[in-house]
Structure 1
Amino acid sequence: MAWIAFTIMAAFMQAWRNAFQKQLSHYVDVYGVTLARFIFAWPFAISYLVLLYHHYAAQVDVVHFTPRFWIYIVIAGLSQILATALMVMLFKQKNYAIGVGLAKSEAVLAAIIGVLFLQEYLDGFGWLGVLIGGVAVFLLSKGAGQLKLSWKTLIIGVGSGLCFAITSLLVREASLELGNLPFLIRAAWVLCLVISFQASIMLMTLGIFQAETLTRMWQHKGLTLRVSICSFLASLGWFSAMSMQSVAIVKTLGQIEILFSLLISAFFFREKLARSDHLGLILVVVAAILVIWA
């Protein structure tokens, strides 16, 4: 059941990362906030991989990277960059809450894409948990109370969820390509290579076209570092969990991030919780129980 612990850790750290990203978005543009996820994360990812190899020294076979593995890494890395940029754009929308709720359609989209194209399997309890989780996120995003939804927010939100779903599915596929290694090392290789690719391509692009963004990030390096550390720990949890379990199951359980986000809003940002949040939280718990049972 290690995937459960990794998923809970990932959800908790992702809630904090989103909170710090929202703060950083007041000072840095979309591309800078997106880069903040990766810029300080890759040294941690490399160090984590080295520590694992030191621990598993006598048990690890030689790693073989297939061409398919590299294709997965590149597409997953680009898809996550786009997903993050779209998520940051949601921070600036008037109906931000429902937009983020739509972005959390990732679990449902991952289930559909995984079953249709990647030979993943979900039983009845799994599908029920995914669907209940989707309803819970909609309620928690205040979707039921907001009848007016702009097409722009709809497209950005669902687009972000779709890109996150593609990222998660391809991360799992890349991990499965390294089937001769322990699951922790498989996940660590994928984590290290994806983050390194993302940091390199974004640093190069911004260095050439938007150097002023890098300057603003340096001016808020403390906040940028917090985003990177939380992002690294969240990705470590997600990648490890998805090396062991179906993406749709992991992401549905991961919707407890909503609970953590509400607690952060209440105690960190001093925002009051609405009574309507209670039903959504109950449904998140029900969805989590169903996917664990599945």
Structure 2
Amino acid sequence: MGLWIPFTLFAAFMQSWRNAFQSQLSKEVSTAGVTLARFIYASPLAVLYLVVLYQVSPAPLPTVTTKLSVMIILASVSQIVATALMVKLFQLRNYAIGVGLAKSEAIIAATLGALFFAAPLNMLAWVGVIVGGIAVWLMSAAGSFKTLSWRTVLLGVGSGLAFALTTLWVREASLILALPFPHGAAWVLVAVISLQTLMLLAWIGWREPETLHALYQRPKKTFLISLCSCLGSLGWFTAMSLETVALVKTLGQVEVLFTLLISARFFKDALAPRDLLGLGLIVAGAVCVIIA
């Protein structure tokens, strides 16, 4: 079994919990505040991980280039946009639907990767990606396709596009570094999260200073979101340093299974019978990409 598989499953599990905590916080704090909660404590956690990694397994330090810097900046901004759009989804539809719509990123990442990032897929892998995409779309359209407003669809696809671009640029940055595994992914993790934290702190401090106070009053939720986000990003970044984004994200759609379980158990969202079909298709898609 490829090492990218357990890292992907771990990332999907942690991300499902991060989304659950973000969904709760979105009822109490602004979109910008919920987005900042994802990063504010994640930066020191990522730095701690990097320090421990170098203590356990020494490796060369990275060489900073213009291309690497551009990839880091693009990934950082794109992930902020993706997270903000997902938070907007939480406020429009129920928790499971918001995450399901944003999972369109797998098909988008596969298409963009093949066209612009020299990451073509074989036929079986494409089958897995498409089957997984159909699955999350079915599970997102609760009851009827007619119940989905254009605003909901556009926010979901926009979030998926931004997440897809983030992961493609993250993988590109890891490959540029050319450091031993898993040091390259760790450096990209620290750089992206640190830059995101600085950008959001500056923006919110200027436009919404009261939001910083709101997060300060909710330390437990804020820390849990940051912790799950850091661990999830660690899993994603590491997996994507080993395998193409499309395959990682298609397997990562098992996050929808975790999301549905959390949604039903903790948010009491009703699950439609079509969810069983969707879960079966997700499993089929995951099997295809693992074999491919």
Instruction: Give the TM-score, by structure 2 length.
Output: 0.96
* Counterpart contact for 1:99–1:156, Cα < 8 Å: no
Structure 1 residues 61-89: Cα deviation after superposition (integer angstroms, max 9, x where no partner): 24212210110000100000000000000
Structure 1 residues 111-163: Cα deviation after superposition (integer angstroms, max 9, x where no partner): 00011011112001110000000011011213562313322112211111100
Higher mean alpha-carbon deviation, 153-162 vs 97-106, is at 97-106
1:96-107 equivalences under 5 Å are 98-107=97-106
* Counterpart contact for 1:95–1:149, Cα < 8 Å: no
Query: What's the counterpart of residue 175 of structure 1?
Result: 174
State how far apart, in whole Å, the 2-side matches of 1:16 and 1:28 are.
Answer: 18
State how far apart, in whole Å, the 1-side matches of 2:62 and 2:97 are.
Answer: 43
Query: What's the counterpart of residue 11 of structure 1?
Result: 12
Letter paired with 2:248: V
Structure 1 residues 229-275: Cα deviation after superposition (integer angstroms, max 9, x where no partner): 00000000000000000000000000000000111123233444332
Q: Is 1:257 paired with 2:258?
A: no
Q: Is 1:27 paired with 2:25?
A: no
* Counterpart contact for 2:96–2:263, Cα < 8 Å: no
- Stretches of 4+ aligned residues off by more than 6 angstroms: none
Query: What's the counterpart of residue 130 of structure 1?
Result: 129
Deviation at 1:95, TM superposition (A): 6.9
* Counterpart contact for 2:75–2:167, Cα < 8 Å: yes
Structure 1 residues 9-45: Cα deviation after superposition (integer angstroms, max 9, x where no partner): 0000000000000000111000000000000000000
Structure 1 gaps, min length 5:
none
Deviation at 1:276, TM superposition (A): 1.6
Deviation at 1:183, TM superposition (A): 2.2
State how far apart, in whole Å, the 2-side matches of 1:239 and 1:226 are.
Answer: 20
Deviation at 1:96, TM superposition (A): 6.4
- SS at structure 1 position matched to 2:233: helix
Q: Is 1:139 paired with 2:138?
A: yes
Query: What's the counterpart of residue 53 of structure 1?
Result: 54
Structure 2 gaps, min length 5:
none
Q: Is 1:40 paired with 2:38?
A: no
Query: What's the counterpart of residue 219 of structure 1?
Result: 217
The correspondence for 1:234, drawn from 229, 232, 236, is: 232
Q: Is 1:151 paired with 2:150?
A: yes
Deviation at 1:110, TM superposition (A): 0.4
Higher mean alpha-carbon deviation, 269-278 vs 86-95, is at 269-278
State how far apart, in whole Å, the 1-side matches of 2:95 and 2:281 are.
Answer: 21
* Counterpart contact for 1:95–1:153, Cα < 8 Å: no
The correspondence for 2:289, drawn from 270, 277, 291, is: 291
State how far apart, in whole Å, the 2-side matches of 1:98 and 1:146 are.
Answer: 12
* Counterpart contact for 1:97–1:142, Cα < 8 Å: no
Instruction: Give the TM-score, by structure 1 length.
Output: 0.95
Query: What's the counterpart of residue 197 of structure 1?
Result: 195
Percent of aligned pairs with the same amino acid:
55
Letter paired with 2:36: L
State how far apart, in whole Å, the 1-side matches of 2:96 and 2:144 are.
Answer: 11
* Counterpart contact for 1:138–1:144, Cα < 8 Å: no
* Counterpart contact for 2:95–2:263, Cα < 8 Å: no
Deviation at 1:94, TM superposition (A): 4.2
Structure 1 residues 125 and 39: CA distance shift in structure 2, 3 A = same
Structure 1 residues 284 and 94: CA distance shift in structure 2, 3 A = closer
Structure 1 residues 227 and 102: CA distance shift in structure 2, 3 A = same
CA RMSD of aligned residues (A): 1.4
Structure 1 residues 213-240: Cα deviation after superposition (integer angstroms, max 9, x where no partner): 1011111111011100000000000000
Letter paired with 1:243: S
Q: How many positions carry a matched residue from both structures?
A: 291
State how far apart, in whole Å, the 1-side matches of 2:14 and 2:93 are.
Answer: 25
